[in-house]
Amino acid sequence: MLYDQTLEKLRALRLDAMADALNEQRRQPDITQLEFEDRLGLLVERQWLWRENRGLATRVKNAGFKINATLEDLNYCSSRGLKRALIEQLRSCQWVKENRNTLVTGKTGSGKTHLGCALGHQACREGYRTHYFYAPKFFRTLEISRADGSLFNFFKKLARTPLVVIDDLGISTVNGKLYREFLEMLDDRHGRGATIITSQFPVSQWHEVIGDATVADAILDRLVHNAYRIDLQGESMRIPQKKAPSDK
């Protein structure tokens, strides 16, 4: 009877994972060989893992990544120019904690989106809330938010987000006013959050992409200083690789 009451109270406290683990322990004949503290530790560990996994799933879902990518999936073939040592340095997400940026450039199909999403997913693993935006949709959101009067709230939301990912900057034409609002967003986040930018254009060409030299200077000043920069090389990874002729 006491056992049933304990289960009911655990579930009433929303400690379902601990209740399930307790049920599992009861079905293990050799569990009594463990000390009470060890058995309790296993129950607490199960509840903690459940909570961590649920939190990660929520952060990943809310981030809205374009693709499901992780750092473990990255291709380090030498022709790509992707350095494993740098990725391992970024893995800890200390750069997010320090409000630094990461700029990923490369040709179409070089894996920029995959890398941007993988770094964002890693940030979610480390407990950081993240928002992913495909650049054209991001600028459309700015335009719509300005029109319906919600721009201030949108900027306020992003200012509180530890990591923002803007994917494929420069892929579509954007009017000057939207780039000024982009600058305002970066200014709000400067020193308060980290940003990932991916682009087909090397950073040296971003002045041309943005158009307005003054706005471009201000944007690059907020993005490039102390940023990690990754320039992906090689052929498009979307092109099927030719199979080597079979030996006969």
Q: Give the pLDDT confidence of 183-199 residue by residue, as tens digits.
A: 999 999 988 999 999 99
Instruction: Copy the structure tokens of residue 181.
Output: 């609002």
Tell me, yes or no, whether 197 and 148 share the same domain.
Answer: yes
Tell me, yes or no, whether 44 and 99 share the same domain.
Answer: no
Angle between helices 176-189 and 135-148 (to 10 degrees): 90
What pLDDT is recorded for position 239? Answer: 54
Bridge partners of 199, per DSSP, are: 105
The answer to whether 194 and 99 have CB atoms below 8 angstroms apart is: yes
pLDDT at 1 over 70: no
Q: Please measure the distance between the N-terminal and C-terminal CA atoms of the chain and give it in whole angstroms.
A: 73
What pLDDT is recorded for position 139? Answer: 94
Task: Kindly report whether the global pTM for this prediction surpasses the value 0.95.
Answer: no
Tell me, yes or no, whether 38 and 133 share the same domain.
Answer: no
Tell me, yes or no, whether 117 and 214 share the same domain.
Answer: yes
Tell me, yes or no, whether 199 and 215 share the same domain.
Answer: yes
The answer to whether 119 and 214 have CB atoms below 8 angstroms apart is: no
Q: Is residue 237 part of a domain?
A: no
Q: What is the mean pLDDT of residues 127-134?
A: 96
Minimum mean pLDDT range among 33-37, 118-122, 189-193, 222-226 = 33-37
Alpha-carbon gap, residue 18 to 43, rounded angstroms? 5
Residue 7 domain boundaries = 2-62
CATH number of the CATH domain containing 225: 3.40.50.300
Number of domains in the chain: 2
What pLDDT is recorded for position 248? Answer: 35
Tell me, yes or no, whether 34 and 87 share the same domain.
Answer: no
What pLDDT is recorded for position 245? Answer: 45
What pLDDT is recorded for position 8? Answer: 80
Higher pLDDT, 205 or 19: 205
Tell me, yes or no, whether 92 and 176 share the same domain.
Answer: yes
Q: Is residue 236 part of a domain?
A: no
Alpha-carbon gap, residue 211 to 199, rounded angstroms? 16
- What is the DSSP secondary structure assignment for residue 204, as one 8-state letter? G
pLDDT at 62 over 80: yes
Q: Is residue 239 part of a domain?
A: no
Tell me, yes or no, whether 213 and 90 share the same domain.
Answer: yes
